[in-house]
Structures are given as structure tokens and as C-alpha cells.
Chains A and B, each alone.
Chain A
């Protein structure tokens, strides 16, 4: 390991991912930057079409090169990944950086045993023999809490329960001790009690191995549980960044406010309507001008004039904290004060 702990392990700068489709160019990610330190968890929050999944597939180089244009820089441990040859990326994937997906049943091959699927990663990257790979697979299954791993290793994915499949997927991702783990909604399809088990497992494994984790989710509750830092995405752009405490305690962007307000809680009032964000997420084929959130934003008027519709707010980050919104600091403080007052009422 050459880099010191002060250097970000993963550094994404001004990433743009544009797909060409029959209907036109989809600007799935449009100028995204973030850093991630070793051993830390970055939570990326966003709704469907926010560009959160595309970002991460692009980091791994899994986009379709024929129809996708990627600009900007993705630096992993000092190595530029954007434009790196396929061989280099193949060597890194599953080895130094790994990914787990939402739907474990669909994401595991139905035609191969769990053991074979875990083992082949180890064989490919570590040059292990079949026997060593099998033993390693058993060890990994044990580590992620699968009972009787010696016999379970020969099962097919459909013979596992949902929670066990997600555990097996985690075992597969971690088999080569990757330094970066990208988890794309890994718990969304799971029941809450299983979700809690899986998140505990990820936290334990991170503590043990010092893995850097990108955790993609739409659930701010999950973020509160697992993330160190949070990046809120909307329409292919980052609208707000900060530590978990900063973002959840004093959110700065009206979209984040809207997300928090639309979620009912276990101790909130019950007989009042929720405060949803009106409208629906934008089409990235033809995104709104200016601030992409402005058609749904209740504060565009407060900013005044046509500013939100014409001028893209700049994301200014100081010390890892910032948001992209035309509201002034005073206006934000005012809104947060209103919120707190309403809560104590």
C-alpha cells in the first residue's frame, strides 16, 4: 500500500455519464465529485433515476462502452480507472473493488452452486486451486454467518432463503478482501429483521477489514444506521453532502427536507397528512433547466425571480459539507428553526 491514510482511497471528480438511446442522450450522471477514505462508509441517497446506481456501475467499468460516454476522473488508490484497459479493470473487479446488488436471487447464477460462484473469484484473482477455492468459500460462508457451510457450499442459490442469499453474495464480494465495497441497495428487498442482520454483518466486516464502503439506498433510516458521510443525489447531480449528523440533523437542501418530511416515523403524529414532495422525479432525457429540482421545489419562489429555473446552483463544498441551492444561509436557518418549532409544538 503506497498511499497514506490522508489521501482519499477513492476520488471521483466531475464524473459525467451520458447514454445514447433511441430517444436521445440520457444524462444519467452530470458532474459528480466525491472522496472516500479507507474504512469509511459513504451513503448515497436518491430515488429512481437519480444516477446513484449508474455512478457505481461506472466506477467498476460495467457500463456498456458502445453507448456510454464517461467523462471525468475516477481514481482508486491513485490509479485512474476511467479509460483504463479492460484487462486492468478485470483484475481490479472482485479483487480490489467488489459490488453487491439488491436482488440476490437474480444476481447469483441459478446454474452454479454457491461454492462454485464464490470459489471462481478466488481462483481467478488469487490463482488458487479448486480445492483451496472450495475451502476458502466454506470459510467465507462461515464468516458471513451461514450455518453448516460445509454442506451449504454445494447448494444452489434457489435453495437458500433471501437473507442467506444476500449473505452469500457478501461472501462472494469479500472473498478476495477487497478494499472498496459498493453495496447497491443490498437490503431493500429484505425484511426488516433480516435487513438489521445484514447491516450488522457489514459493519462487523468493515471493522475487521477496514473496507471502504459505498452504500446506495433510498432509505434515510438505513443511512442513519450505517453511513459516516452522506451524498444526496437528484437528477444525476449531487445536491447535498456532509457527515451523517450534518445531513440528518441540519439538512440544507429542500430536496433533503422533502425526503425527510415524506417519511412517516415510528413516533411521529399519525392523523395529519404527510408532506410529500409534489410531482415526480425528472426524466434525464430532458432534464429541467437550471436547478433540476426546481419544478418540485417549494422554495423556488423564495429565491425569487426566475433564478432557479435559469441558473444551475453550484455545489460548494467546504470541509466535506455543502449543498447546491440558491437559498441563502439565513433562509435555510429560518426554515430549520420553523421545523424545530413545529416539532416541539
Chain B
């Protein structure tokens, strides 16, 4: 396990370097000059050069990248803006703040949204999937299957406003979506996020129902499940001890990837409910050409995907003894 982790973390660091380098080149290669935009209408070549220098973009691309990388570990001095403490992911020229602190501000919202809805869709998705698998071919299975088909073809921008209208404005069942710090007041934190959780979870629940059902149906036909029955194990025991164990591994894999994606920001959900998370931040940064911010978001979110992958593989090794981690 130790060897596995060391090897994978080393690999992850290399992967992130490559991702950041490619993103860096792509963003800074586009013919958009942030300095030109900051310079305004009455721009002399001298002012432009000064702004460039202040932004730290007056040097060759590899040198800029080198500064960006060293900034992460050592912090960085921006001539026009001041010091950016390590770890420094750059400086946003749009809101005139270090990238990292902006992301850090937005991050709790995204994490709350992702984790909360994950809890909801895991419980409901896996639960319904299990029921459907047990009642295979019966009415309950058919209802669950068709319901999940309908739900998975829903879109947030359709369900979201509908939920807002009925649950919040019309019947006042739930609170208006908002983000409140969990540490400050857990109850209002949950209240404020309940509607987005439910809406986001609805679509994911459907996927997990279908996946759980099909995985279980498949493992229930495995020879070792038959053997367990031949040993006199009860149906319930066989289901939870043997079949579920086999179905779990692929579900964990998909969940890891999904969670990584969700932590990267659920753009449409955040937009629908006006939640200031990473997703909305990246939309805004695209609109304002905030390249340092986009780069920072890119690196942070890809770290989540990479870390999620490592965790998934480690968990897979724990679930299935045939997988050797090394």
C-alpha cells in the first residue's frame, strides 16, 4: 500500500505538471493581451510595457512558466501589485487578488454542493438499485427502471427552476438557496443547500440506480453466488455478503470520477441557484478573460480528479483482493 501510494502520488505530481504546462501554453498563446485590455483606450506603448512588467507577462513564455511554478512553492513578487504568498497560483488582474484566495473563498460552496448531493444520490441511487435488483422483473423493478430513465434524461436548467418555483416560491416548503458557512450555523447551511442538493442529486440518482441494478443483476448470476446458496446461506446473506461485494467495485470507480468532476464545480447548478462556487467563477473568468484565474481553477480541479483516481484505485484494492497494489 505504501509503495502504491508513493508511486501514484509521484505519478500524479508529474501529471499535474504536464497539465499545467499545456494549459499555460494554450492560455498564453491565444491572441489576447490582458495588458492591452487593462491599458484602456488611451494606451501608449510605454504604459503598455509598464503594465506588462507589473503583471509579470513581459518575459518569454518558458520564463513566465518558471515564475509561475516557483511561485507555487516560494511565493512571488508582482511589481505592480505586491507580494503573493506561497503557494501562489498567480494573480488575478480582474479582481486584483491572488488567484488562490479567490478560489479558496468559493471552494466551500462547491464542496458543500458536491458532497451534499453525493450523499443524497448515493443513498437513493444505490438503495433503489438494490431494491430493483432484488425484485428483478417485478413491478417495483419496472417502475424504478422507467423512473430512472425519465430522471436521467432531465436537465438541471429544467428541473432547477421548476423546483425553485414549486418548493420555494409557491408553497414555501424549503428555503431559498443560499450558501451559509457550515462552521457558523450547520442548520442554515443545510437549509440553504437543500433544493440544489435535491435537484443535482435527482439526475445522478438515476444513473446510480441503473448502474447498481445492472451490476447486482450481473453478480447475482455469478457461480460463487450459486455456491453460497448451495452452502445453505440465506438469500439475504448471499445478497449482502457476496453479490453486493462484487457489485461495489465498479460503483466505487464511477463514483470517484463523478466526485472529482463535481468538485470541479457544477456550473449549471450554481448558475441556476446563484451559488458562488467554482463553476460560476470559471464562467465569469472566461467572460472577463481572467487567464490566471482560469489556469488556477484548471490546476485545482484537475488535482481533484487525479486525487480521486488514486483514492478509487486504493479502495478498489481493498475491495478486491485480486488487485495487487504496487
Q: Interface on A for B, CB 8 Å cutoff?
A: 57, 60, 62, 66, 86, 90-95, 98-99, 101, 103, 106-112, 120-121, 124-125, 156, 158, 169, 172
Contacts and interface: CB of A to CB of B under 8 A. Distances in A.
29 contacts: A57-B226, A62-B229, A62-B230, A86-B235, A90-B232, A90-B233, A90-B234, A91-B232, A93-B231, A93-B232, A94-B230, A94-B233, A98-B230, A98-B231, A99-B230, A101-B227, A106-B224, A107-B223, A107-B227, A108-B227, A109-B228, A109-B242, A110-B224, A110-B246, A111-B321, A121-B232, A124-B233, A156-B322, A172-B231
B319 interface: yes
A109 B224 CA distance: 5
Q: How large is the interface on B (under 10, 10 to 19, 20 to 34, 35 or more residues)?
A: 20 to 34
Given A110-B246, A124-B233, 8 more contacts: A60-B230, A62-B226, A94-B230, A94-B231, A94-B232, A110-B322, A111-B242, A169-B227
Interface of B: 137, 222-224, 226-235, 241-242, 245-246, 319-322
A51 B137 CA distance: 25
Nearest to A118: B231
B231 A110 contact: no
A257 B206 CA distance: 58
Please give me the 8 A-B residue pairs with the lowest Cβ-Cβ distance, nearest first.
A94-B232, A94-B231, A93-B232, A106-B223, A109-B224, A107-B223, A99-B230, A107-B227
Nearest to A156: B321
Contact of A103 (B223, B228, B232, B235): B223
A62 B319 CA distance: 28
A172 B228 CA distance: 10
Contacts of A95: 232
Contacts of A111: 242, 245-246, 319-321
Contacts of A109: 224, 227-228, 242, 245
A107 B234 contact: no
A108 B224 CA distance: 5
A90 B233 CA distance: 7
A120 B224 contact: no
Contacts of B230: 60, 62, 93-94, 98-99, 101
Nearest to A158: B322
A101 to B, nearest CB: 6
B249 to A, nearest CB: 9
Nearest to B246: A111
A191 B319 CA distance: 32
Most buried by A among B227, B230, B245: B230
A334 B241 CA distance: 59
A281 B224 CA distance: 28
A66 B245 CA distance: 25
B246 A124 contact: no
Contact of B233 (A99, A103, A120, A156): A120
Max count, chain B CB within 10 A of own CB: residue among A95, A109, A121, A169: A109
B322 to A, nearest CB: 5
Given A111-B245, A121-B231, A101 B223 contact: yes
Q: Which of A86, A94, A95 has the most CB of B within 10 A?
A: A94
Nearest to B319: A111
Nearest to A90: B232
B140 to A, nearest CB: 14
Contacts of A60: 230
A156 B319 CA distance: 13
Contacts of A124: 231-233
Contacts of A156: 321-322
A125 B237 CA distance: 14
A322 B320 CA distance: 51
Nearest to A122: B231
Contact of B320 (A62, A93, A110): A110
Most interface-central of A62, A107, A169 (chain B CB within 10 A): A107
A111 B227 CA distance: 14
Nearest to B138: A66
Contacts of A86: 235
Contacts of A103: 223
Contacts of A106: 222-224
A279 B251 CA distance: 46
B247 to A, nearest CB: 11
A97 B252 CA distance: 37
Contacts of B246: 110-111
Contacts of B223: 101, 103, 106-107
B232 A107 contact: no
B239 to A, nearest CB: 13
The listed residue with most B CB atoms (<10 A of its CB), out of A66, A90, A172, is: A90
